């Protein structure tokens, strides 16, 4: 994910500018990181780009150990980096994470940068509409200065916030990619969800009104649950099951694996899922063919409302601190393309225990039967 090419050959450094002995002892990438740290500490925006270019140019030949060590150090520079090149630094941080750097240590500044870019983008889109609308600026073709001139207005939006709005729109795709690199790790997802960061970002995704970015994949990745208990109550049989899910990116995937574990495992009546459909929901990759999965239940929340397959397992509500799902008979046949929405992450659902009949009956008594088809579509 590095963004710069190896810099051109330079003349030997004059003797009075030779690096210090401690600098010479560092591996090349880490020496370049130290140079960038010094540039940021000095607030030298003009030298930031060349210094970042040296980091990017040395990333390819660096050892795995250098990349691991560089990630958190570079992430720590993000808040103080100049607004436009900051996103390119985030891409290098993402590359470090993809090569083994601590994702949790790197995630905070990256996700904060994504939030800033989304906030700036929202502001640009609003001002663009207020100043006549029309085609949005193309970050690959248009001059950001023109967009800045159009949206800035002393009475509405000062120069600095207009600048941040333009930066957000021009760099959002880079922050999106860097954020994917850190959100691909379960510890980051857990920490970001617990801290409220994910909730804020998902809200901003939902408010985004432009056409250049699709945040569905990143939202599904961010909302993915890991090592999460799931209580399942089957209304037709009166039985209950405690399961644990990890890495499920959409409710289609959860539906498939529920059918595999409960019907395929002999706990509930029905037709077992095709083994290929199950494999694709767990870890197998599609080979270009379209494989069809079929529905086995209607998924219902404890309050009786339907849970749609197009959502995510995070939609399953908590009941006494545990995500609780009720299974009811299918009101009509359902089918969908098998597979995982996030192909890079394998999914898992396993049965931990079967509830005692009295326990299952008590829990079911606290739930509401699902709405009719007519109610669900109102």
pLDDT-based confidence at 22, cuts 50/70/90?
Answer: very low
**Separation of CA 194 from chain center:** 15
Please report, for residues 106, 149, 369, the alpha-carbon distance to residue 300 in angstroms, rounded to integers and kept in the order given.
38, 52, 8
Residue 322: strand pairing partners: 319
Residue spans of alpha helices (H) in the chain: 21-24, 28-42, 45-59, 64-77, 83-98, 103-130, 144-151, 159-183, 186-195, 197-207, 216-223, 251-258, 275-282, 357-364, 373-376
Q: H or E segment at 352?
A: strand 348-354
Asked if residue 144 has pLDDT above 80, the reply is: yes
Look at residue 372 in the predicted model and tell me its pLDDT: 56
Rounded distance between C-alpha atoms, residue 193 and residue 227, angstroms: 14
CA 326/CA 212 separation, integer angstroms? 38
Q: Is the dihedral of CA 226, 227, 231, 236 positive or negative?
A: positive
320 CB-contact burial (10 Å; exposed 0-12 / middle 13-18 / buried 19+): exposed
Using an 8 Å Cβ cutoff, are 63 and 26 in contact?
A: no
* Tokens of residue 109, six digits: 């500044």
Closest CA to 94 of 201, 197, 179: 179
Q: What share of the chain has pLDDT > 70, as a percent? A: 91
pLDDT tens-digit readout, 252-303: 999 999 999 999 999 999 999 999 999 999 999 988 789 999 999 999 999 9
For CA atoms 30, 32, 38, 39, give the dihedral sign.
Answer: negative
pLDDT digit string, tens, across residues 72-127: 999 999 999 999 999 999 999 999 999 999 999 999 999 999 999 999 999 999 99
Greatest distance between any 2 Cα atoms in the chain: 84
Domain ranges, ordered by start, for the chain: 15-223, 228-376
Least Cα distance to 324 among 360, 373, 273 occurs for 360
DSSP string, 71-111: HHHHHHHGGGS-HHHHHHHHHHHHHHHHTT--HHHHHHHHH
CB 167 within 8 A of CB 83: yes
| pLDDT value for 289 | 83
Average pLDDT of the chain to the nearest whole number: 91
Nearest to 280 by CA among 312, 257, 251: 257
């Amino acid at each position: 994910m590095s963004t710069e090419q190896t810099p051109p050959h330079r003349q030997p450094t004059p003797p009075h500018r030779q690096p210090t002995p401690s600098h010479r002892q560092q591996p090349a990438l880490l020496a370049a990181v130290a140079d960038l740290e010094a540039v940021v500490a000095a607030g030298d925006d003009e030298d930031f780009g060349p210094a970042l270019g040296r980091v990017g140019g040395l990333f390819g030949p660096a050892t795995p150990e250098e990349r691991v060590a560089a990630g958190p150090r570079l992430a720590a520079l993000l808040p103080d980096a100049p607004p436009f090149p900051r996103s390119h630094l985030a891409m290098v941080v993402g590359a470090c994470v993809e090569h083994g750097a601590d994702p949790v240590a790197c995630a905070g500044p990256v996700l904060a940068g994504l939030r800033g870019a989304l906030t700036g983008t929202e502001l640009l889109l609003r001002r663009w509409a207020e100043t006549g609308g029309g085609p949005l600026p193309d970050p690959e073709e248009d001059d950001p200065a023109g967009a800045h001139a159009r949206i800035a207005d002393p009475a509405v939006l000062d120069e600095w916030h207009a600048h941040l709005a333009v930066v957000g729109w021009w760099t959002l795709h880079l922050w999106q990619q860097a954020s994917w690199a850190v959100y691909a790790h379960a510890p980051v997802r857990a920490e970001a969800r617990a801290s409220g960061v994910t909730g804020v970002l998902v809200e901003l995704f939902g408010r985004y009104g432009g056409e250049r970015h699709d945040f569905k994949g990143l939202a599904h990745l961010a909302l993915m649950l890991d090592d999460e208990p799931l209580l399942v109550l089957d209304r037709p049989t009166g039985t209950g099951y405690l399961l644990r899910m990890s890495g499920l990116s959409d409710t289609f995937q959860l539906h498939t694996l529920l059918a595999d574990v409960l019907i395929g495992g002999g706990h509930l009546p029905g037709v077992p899922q095709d083994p290929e459909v199950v494999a694709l929901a767990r870890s197998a990759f599609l080979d270009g063919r379209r494989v069809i999965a079929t529905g086995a239940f209607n998924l219902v929340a404890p309050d009786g409302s339907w849970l749609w397959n197009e959502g995510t397992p995070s939609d399953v509500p908590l009941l006494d601190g545990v995500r609780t799902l009720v299974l009811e008979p299918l009101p009509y046949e359902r089918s969908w393309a098998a597979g995982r929405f996030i192909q890079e992450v394998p999914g898992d659902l396993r049965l931990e225990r079967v509830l005692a009949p009295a326990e299952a009956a008590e829990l079911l008594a606290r739930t509401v039967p699902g709405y009719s088809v007519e109610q669900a579509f109102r």
